[in-house]
Amino acid sequence: MRARRDLLARVAVVGLTATAAGAELPAEASREVREKLRAEQARQFARLEDEVRGLADDAGRYLATFAGPARTLIGDYLFVQLGVILSERPRSEQCAQVLELAGQMATVLGGPRWRFWIRLNAWLTLTQTLAQLKAPEEPVAKLLSGN
C-alpha cells in the first residue's frame, strides 16, 4: 500500500512539473520576464527528466507491489514515459504527452474507489495511449526497441 501511495505522489509531481515546464509564455510579458520564465521552464524540464528517470530506476520497487495486468500497465507507463522524455520530440510535446500519461495514471491509482467506472475508463484510456506510443512508427517505440 505504501508503494502505491508513493507512486501516486511521484506521478503527481511528474504531472505538475510537466505543466510548469510546458506552459506557454505570456505574449505580453517583458523581455526580462520572458527570459526568467524560460530559465524556470528549463529548470523544471531538467527536474521532469530527473523525476521520470527516477521512476524508471525505481520500477522494480513499484512492480513488485502489483501483479498481473496492473504490473504490466505500470511497467509500460514507467518506460513509455521515459521513452517520451528521451525522444527527439519538441520539449512542449514531451511535456504535453507526459502530462497526459500522468493524469491518466493518477486516476487509475488514486481515483475514487467507489467510482469504479472512472478508474476503469482511465485504465482503458491509458492502455490505448500507451499502445499508440508503442506503435512501430512512433519515435518512442523505436527508442524503446533500440532501432
pLDDT of residue 26: 87
Tens of pLDDT, residue by residue over 91-123, are 999 999 999 999 999 999 886 677 888 889 999
Percent of all residues in the chain with a pLDDT value above 90, rounded to a whole number: 73
- Helix ranges (H only) for the chain are 2-22, 31-57, 59-63, 68-86, 91-110, 116-133, 139-145
Q: Is the pTM higher than 0.95?
A: no
Tens of pLDDT, residue by residue over 24-58, are 988 898 999 999 999 999 999 999 999 999 999 99
